[in-house]
Amino acid sequence: MPIYAMLLAILVALLWGINFAASKFILLHLPPFFVIFLRYVLVVACLAPFARKIALSHKQIFFLSLLIIGLHFTLVFSALWLGLPIATTVIAVQLGAPISCVLSALFLNDKLGPWRTLGMAIAFSGILVIAGTPEVGNNEFAFLLAIGGAAAWGGSNVYMKRVPSVSIMPMLFWTGLYSLPVTLGVSLILEENQIALLQTAGWSVWGGLAYTVLMSTIVGYGVWYWLMSRYSVTQVTPFALLVPVGGFTSGMLFFDETFTWRTVIGAALTIIGVAIITVRRPRLARPVKG
């Protein structure tokens, strides 16, 4: 893998990490389901030229959109909206990798093996360490939502192994389109004053939306899958372990987040566990992106 490709992989991981901070700026003003709705309205509009037919049924597209957008993103965004720190959120959602392993063993008869079992044990122990920190103690429900978002991502990883392979841009378009009625409907039921809040949104909200649509979704996923199409999964996937670096750094820079030693130790254990899983079985162990 040449140096320029490695630099692109590092860039994408950092873009995804910083996306947690960009999303936090939006969520300080707008409720989470409405934010996801707006995000994918803009994604669908930008990706309309890629709206060609893909080898998935309507049911398969809807189920993927429900897992990835209707559950994963909305639960993670809800955790941030409820006040869970960026660093804690980004580490919690890394559980998508070990959860993918568990679900693949249950539904795909995939053998875990000693290395992946060890990686899962280390990753879950890291989450248990973080669960005892004050950041989680004051936001227990939000922490559970973030873990739920990780579980939804893990489920989507396993489900994608059961459906035909498709190009990323059409996939983003169709899953985004199918998510719109769900996210809008839930927003109308559970949230309020969306239009009034949108009318008073400042530059940080619009800047955050622009970042999450263009840099995280379109550029991030576009470059990542371009790399995946040219290099082996084992060469590309480990760079996603840098996502927490971008999340931690942006949390400190933009929101003055601080960390206890317990948080650092828990984060280190989780990342080490996910690294072991990723190296041993990368196709089912893709760390979660924002």
- Residue 13 forms part of a structural domain: yes
* pLDDT one-digit tens code per residue, 218-239: 999 889 888 877 887 667 878 8
233 with 282: CB under 8 angstroms?
A: yes
237 with 285: CB under 8 angstroms?
A: yes
* pLDDT one-digit tens code per residue, 166-199: 888 899 999 999 999 999 999 999 999 999 999 9
Range of the domain at 73: 3-284
Burial (0-12, 13-18, 19+ Cβ within 10 Å), 245: middle
One-letter identity of residue 97: A
Please report how many Cα atoms fall inside a 13 Å half-sphere around the Cα of residue 66, on the Cβ side: 8
- Would you say how long the chain is, in residues? 290
First-last CA distance in the chain: 25
pLDDT of amino acid 287: 41
* pLDDT one-digit tens code per residue, 53-106: 888 899 999 999 999 999 999 999 999 999 999 999 999 998 888 888 888 888
**Interatomic CA distance for residues 270 and 290, integer angstroms:** 17
pLDDT > 90: what percent of the chain? Answer: 62
98 with 249: CB under 8 angstroms?
A: no
Burial (0-12, 13-18, 19+ Cβ within 10 Å), 116: buried
- Residue 24 — pLDDT band, cuts 50, 70, 90? very high
**Interatomic CA distance for residues 183 and 189, integer angstroms:** 10
One-letter identity of residue 190: L
| Residue 211 or 132, more confident | 211
Q: How many other β-carbons are positioned within 10 Å of the β-carbon of residue 57? A: 11
- Residue 32 forms part of a structural domain: yes
Cα dist from 152 to 101, 198, 234, whole Å = 13, 28, 23
DSSP string, 113-166: HHHHHHHHHHHHHHHHHHHTSHHHHT-HHHHHHHHHHHHHHHHHHHHHTTS---
**Interatomic CA distance for residues 251 and 246, integer angstroms:** 8
**Interatomic CA distance for residues 48 and 177, integer angstroms:** 10
User: Across all residues in the chain, what is the average pLDDT?
Assistant: 89
Three-state DSSP at 205 gives helix
DSSP letter assigned to residue 47? T
The tokens for 277 are 């899983």
- Residue 290 forms part of a structural domain: no
Helix 32-46 × helix 3-27 angle, to 10°: 140
- Residue 95 forms part of a structural domain: yes
Q: How many domains does the chain have?
A: 1
**Interatomic CA distance for residues 120 and 88, integer angstroms:** 18
pLDDT of amino acid 233: 65
Element containing residue 288 per DSSP (H, E): none
The tokens for 236 are 């590309």
- Residue 289 forms part of a structural domain: no
Q: How many other β-carbons are positioned within 10 Å of the β-carbon of residue 276? A: 22
